[in-house]
């Protein structure tokens, strides 16, 4: 029987097992060790459901992921490495969507909380923790839905400034504080640790 990850849509097929993790073919999902996690996003077994469950989701997720991969790589090459205008527009698109849900960001804390709730509610990731310091904000994304996709892009030399959490958080902070933020990221587990450093006042 096949089971599907509720975060990243990875499918565990008992006929194939998970050889990279030492799980032999014909290993039933319920017989997997408790330490086994999704090889794509790192989520635990309890976040999987039988593929014949009513929560089938979109059958087009594979092609959609490929399209995102291609668009991101194309934008990176056409716009130049680290194009700030592209990353800001990605963040702006998500911020506008969040605003359409009726929430209001009055300061940096509520802005980041709104971003977190939006992404968790829509299952972009399992969790998003943040810490606000003086001129720096630290984010930690856990069990990211796009972790496998980002790894492919990074292997092609694309620095993932296109990360939705990163750019949406940076734009949310820009709108509430009036400052632009420099982005830096590092892989952590099945997600990323992100630092946003305040750099300059937005010109009015």
Closest CA to 42 of 201, 187, 197, 189: 189
For the chain, the average pLDDT equals 82
CB atoms closer than 10 angstroms to residue 35: 8
Same domain, 146 and 99: yes
Residue 82, pLDDT score: 52
Number of domains in the chain: 2
- 126 within some domain: yes
Give the structural domain span for 182: 61-201
Beta strands of 7-82 (E only): which ranges? 11-13, 48-50
Q: 170-194 as b/e, with b when 16 or more CB fall inside 10 Å?
A: bbbbbbbbebbbebebeeeebbbeb
* Token pair recorded at residue 3: 């089971």
- CATH number of the domain encompassing residue 16: 2.20.28.10
Same domain, 99 and 191: yes
CB 193 within 8 A of CB 186: yes
Q: Is the pLDDT of residue 148 over 90?
A: no
Q: For residues 137 and 39, what is the distance between their CA atoms, to the nearest angstrom?
A: 29
Q: Is the pLDDT of residue 159 over 60?
A: yes
Residue 163, pLDDT score: 77
Same domain, 24 and 124: no
- 56 within some domain: no
Same domain, 43 and 120: no
- 55 within some domain: no
Same domain, 89 and 184: yes
| Local confidence band at 67 (pLDDT 50, 70, 90 cut-offs) | low
Same domain, 100 and 16: no
Strands 191-201 and 48-50: unpaired
Q: For residues 41 and 8, what is the distance between their CA atoms, to the nearest angstrom?
A: 6
Residue 91, pLDDT score: 84
Same domain, 33 and 100: no
Q: For residues 196 and 139, what is the distance between their CA atoms, to the nearest angstrom?
A: 8
Residue 171, classed as helix, strand or coil, is helix
Q: At which of 50, 75, 90 does a domain end?
A: 50
């Amino acid at each position: 029987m096949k089971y599907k990850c509720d975060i990243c849509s990875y499918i565990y097929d008992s006929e194939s097992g998970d050889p990279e993790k030492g799980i032999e073919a014909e290993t039933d999902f319920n017989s997997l060790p408790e330490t086994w996690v999704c090889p794509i996003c790192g989520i635990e077994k309890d976040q999987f459901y039988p593929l014949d469950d009513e929560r089938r989701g979109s059958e087009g997720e594979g092609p959609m992921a490929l399209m995102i991969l291609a668009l991101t790589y194309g934008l990176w090459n056409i716009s130049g490495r680290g194009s700030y205008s592209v990353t800001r527009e990605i963040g702006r698109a998500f911020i506008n969507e969040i605003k359409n849900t009726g929430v209001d960001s009055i300061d940096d804390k509520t802005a980041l909380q709104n971003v977190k709730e939006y992404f968790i509610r829509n299952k972009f990731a399992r969790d998003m923790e943040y810490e606000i310091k003086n001129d720096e904000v630290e984010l930690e994304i856990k069990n990211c839905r796009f972790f496998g996709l980002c790894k492919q892009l990074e292997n092609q030399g694309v620095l993932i400034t296109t990360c939705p959490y990163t750019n949406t958080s940076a734009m949310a902070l820009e709108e509430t504080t009036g400052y632009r933020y420099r982005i830096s990221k590092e892989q952590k587990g099945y997600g990323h640790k992100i630092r946003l450093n305040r750099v300059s006042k937005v010109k009015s």
